[in-house]
Structure formats: C-alpha cells, structure tokens
A and B are shown apart, each in its own frame.
Chain A
Amino acid sequence: MASALRSAILRHIRVPATQVVSANGSRLTAVRLMSSHDDHITKDEVINRVLDVVKCFPKVDPSKVTPEVHFEKDLGLDSLDTVEIVMALEEEFKLEIPDKEAVRIESCEQAIEYVYNHPMSS
C-alpha cells in the first residue's frame, strides 16, 4: 500500500531544474560543499610529488630520476626498495594501495599513472 502510494506520487512529482547562478554570473555546477576531493590534483603536481618522493629515497641518485625511470632496471633497487617507495607514495598522497595493485607499480611512470587516476589521492 505504502509502496504503491510512493511510486504513484514519485511518478507525478516533477522538480523544476533551475540553474544556480552565482553573484558574478558563473554557473555553480560541480560544487560539493564540505568535500575535500573536488580539487583533484593536476598531472604536473602528481609528477613533481612522485619524483620528490623517489629522489628523497636514500639509495637513489637524485640526478637519475626522471618520470619514465624504472625502479629496478634503471635505479638499481630491489623488490623491497620498490615496496618501500610505494609505501612512501601511499603516505605522500594519503592513499591505501591494495597489495595486488601495489605489486604492479614498478616504475615512476606506473606510479604517476596510478596516483593520477586514483580518485582519493590528495
């Protein structure tokens, strides 16, 4: 009874869609108040911060670090170092990367790609 009434009402109610226009005339479409995830970081920022994290790693020669560098092949790190860098990236971008995806991050390029595509990175 209640559900039939509810669906009958919902079928007839129409809310007029009006565009919210702010004082300076710009449309406020994608504004979610109290949300910290709207200002998603740009690709350049991701690249800079990932490279900073890798450069700060004690065993890495900072001059060798480029956005395409491979951790094990180019920087001479081992698998444990790679895990350590991925954990440092987790800390830097406030993420929690699941184990299955963490093992696939083996180069700066993959790290940048993963962090940039992650909706929660900040």
Chain B
Amino acid sequence: MAHIMLKKLKVPANSGSLEEARSRTFEFFRMCCRSIPHIMEIYNLYDVVTPSQLRSAAAAEVRKNSNVTNPKVIDMLLFKGTEELMNIVNQSKQRHHIVGQYVVGNQGLVQDLAAKDQDTSNFLKNFYGSNYS
C-alpha cells in the first residue's frame, strides 16, 4: 500500500516549527518501513537481509542527521530521503545498489572474514573503510 501512496506524493509546504519537522520525520520513517515488504519482494532480498535489518538500516540513516535542528534543513533532508525512497520503490536502482548501501554498507564493504584477511595492512583497511559511503 505504501508504495502506491508514494506515487501520489507531492512536495509539502515548509515545516513551521521543529515539532512539525519532527513529526514529518517520523511520518517519513513509517512510510519507509511500510514499503520494506515491497522492496524485499521487488529486489528479491530474502536471502541476504531480513525486514527488521532493513528497518534498522533506515533508522540509522535517519539517525545520522539527528543533530540537525533547523526545520528548513530537516525539510530538505526529508525531501532527499523521499527521493531516495521513490528511486528504490520505482526500481530506478538495481539490486546491488540496495545490497551495497543498506545491507553490507553499514559494516563496511570489505569485511575481514577469511584467515588471510587478518594480515592485510591497516592502511588498506582504512582505505576500504573510507572509500564507500
């Protein structure tokens, strides 16, 4: 249902107060959460991630900007967030975008899993860690 709602979405008027921007942020986050089942379906993500992990990833994206207190900036961030969500829901992205950004992106693209990875230099590890955001 959420993804049908998303197609009719328009740019709202500016938030008058921080409180309004705050409630809009929660509204946006709820919309993200409600499109997760659809996203799981269209990108076939069942074997790599669970809906609750995706929900946490979305919450982490919102939390990245938790220090912002200017309602205008929050409005702009919400606009960008909605744009991103629309791109995902309309399948303007491909599976690896989603997997890279929201599934493995949180832990870093390159992970030390095998025994030989332990010998990699710290310089390379930092490089891999910083090169994807």
Binding site for B on A (CB under 8 A): 56, 58, 79-81, 83-84, 87-88, 90-91, 96, 99, 102-103
In the complex the two chains form, is B1's CB within 8 Å of A96's CB?
yes
- Bound together, the chains give a CA A91 to CA B34 distance in angstroms of 9
Interface size, B (range): 10 to 19
A87 x B26 contact (CB < 8 A): no
Q: Judge if B56 is at the interface, Cβ distance under 8 Å.
A: yes
Closest-by-CB residue of A relative to B32 is A87
Q: Please report B residues at the A interface, Cβ cutoff 8 Å.
A: 1, 23, 26-27, 29-30, 33-34, 37, 51-52, 55-56, 59, 62-63, 66
Distance of A8 Cα from B30 Cα, bound (Å) = 53
Distance from B20 Cβ to chain A, minimum over Cβ atoms (Å): 13
CB distance from B42 to the nearest CB of A (A): 17
A-B contact count, CB below 8 Å? 40
A84-B59, A87-B33 known, 8 other contacts, Cβ within 8 Å: A79-B26, A80-B63, A80-B66, A81-B59, A84-B29, A87-B55, A99-B30, A103-B26
Q: Which listed residue, A58, A80, A91, touches B29 by the CB 8 Å rule? A: A80
Chain B positions within 8 Å of A81 at CB level:
59
Q: Which residues of A contact B23 (CB under 8 A)?
A: 99, 103
A67→B132 CA distance, assembly (Å): 42
Q: DSSP majority for the A interface?
A: helix
From residue B73, how far is it (CB to closest CB) to chain A in Å? Answer: 17
Which residues from chain B contact A83 at a C-beta distance below 8 Å? 26, 29-30
Contact in complex: B55, A88 (CB < 8 Å): yes
Bound state CA distance, A88 and B54, in angstroms? 11
Say whether B51 contacts A91, CB under 8 Å.
Answer: yes
Contact A56 B26 (CB under 8 A): no
Residues of B within 8 A of A90 (CB): 33-34
Instruction: Check B30 against A102 for contact (C-beta < 8 Å).
Output: yes
